[in-house]
Amino acid sequence: FDAAIIAAFGDPGLFAARELFDVPVIGLAEAAMLTACMAGRRFAIVTFAQALGPWYEECVRMHGLMERCAGIRMLDGSFKQISDVQHEKEELLVELALRAVEENEADVLI
């Protein structure tokens, strides 16, 4: 293999993996945020769970991108299954995204 991907948003273990391996290690959150920074001035993150908010904020801070982050919007409430949350909560997720654009002036949404 030529590279590795930390396939969990929030990039758990990213910096440790980079110390351990001699190949590039990419984190999904880092890649998303850096791409968002190329696409606009400020990005916002929309997520399906309140519990993820602090972790994502720590991740944004870890990557030095707090000044570019317009905010993190989280669903308030439960859902049946994580595999169906995008369909079950679609309207609420879209509402959160629109609020991030309107209220936080996000140019790009993750």
- CATH number of the domain that residue 43 is part of: 3.40.50.12500
- Does residue 19 register a pLDDT over 80? yes
Instruction: Please give the residue range of the domain that contains residue 48.
Output: 4-109
Please count the structural domains in the chain.
Answer: 1
Which range, of 31-45, 58-72, 87-101, averages the lowest pLDDT? 87-101
pLDDT of res. 7:
94
Q: Which two tokens stand for residue 51?
A: 């519990």
**How far, in Å, CA of 1 to CA of 29, rounded?**
21
Percent over 70 (pLDDT), the chain: 99
- Does residue 75 register a pLDDT over 90? no
pLDDT grade, residue 50 (50/70/90)? confident
pLDDT of res. 48:
84
- Does residue 80 register a pLDDT over 90? no
Higher local confidence (pLDDT), 93 or 18: 18
Phi then psi dihedrals of residue 107, to 5 deg: -90, -30
pLDDT of res. 39:
98
